[in-house]
Structure 1
């Protein structure tokens, strides 16, 4: 786990903009933990609660790998905690993040979805389509020849 403190400057880190941060309760199964979410342009950082201007990073999740879902839609119930929760999915992990209010949850859902879409568009632009010409290859079994 890496530690980020107050002496870090924007030029030292690769994450430049910090649009949103919020304390949440992360739940996986029966285990509940108080965590802090930081949403950057390209990653979501999950850390322990901020204490004395220092915190430990638990997860750094690239937004191009992240999916989110509304907990009410997935669970099928409209409980008070469910209406303030979203589900975070990424390869090998998933959590239910419960916010302090329904408005905070809606704001985070909007911004996370927006930044996920932007990150996935950038990732798609980086993919390069290769064209392979097999005309000049003798004994090619390709249908293109």
Structure 2
């Protein structure tokens, strides 16, 4: 089988089957080529079968690498977005001021302060802390 024929057959089989997603792709593609060869118009020699398998494996590895690069770029973008979100996060602490008899809210932008009682604004913990700070004086 000529190289152009091997490339064309490998391309068509890969297009139909897609990436293998298995660890041992040789066995996967060997089974695919054997199944395809059953309906071929002429018998497939072992050298031709191996050439087609190796060509498909090369396409498979290239596609998997392309997808890994895309996933890595998406992961990096998501990580950057998460870091930017955390850097611009608003941290809130609620306490009751006995002297003024009112709820006092402190806000900090950026990293979370190390003292206890700081919660991200809008989180369930922050809402509970605000409610609890206001209720402490009712039961004191």
TM range (shorter): 0.3 to 0.5
Structure 1 length as normaliser, TM-score?
0.37
More helix by share: 2
Structure 2 length as normaliser, TM-score?
0.38
More strand by share: 1
Of structures 1 and 2, the larger Rg is shown by 2
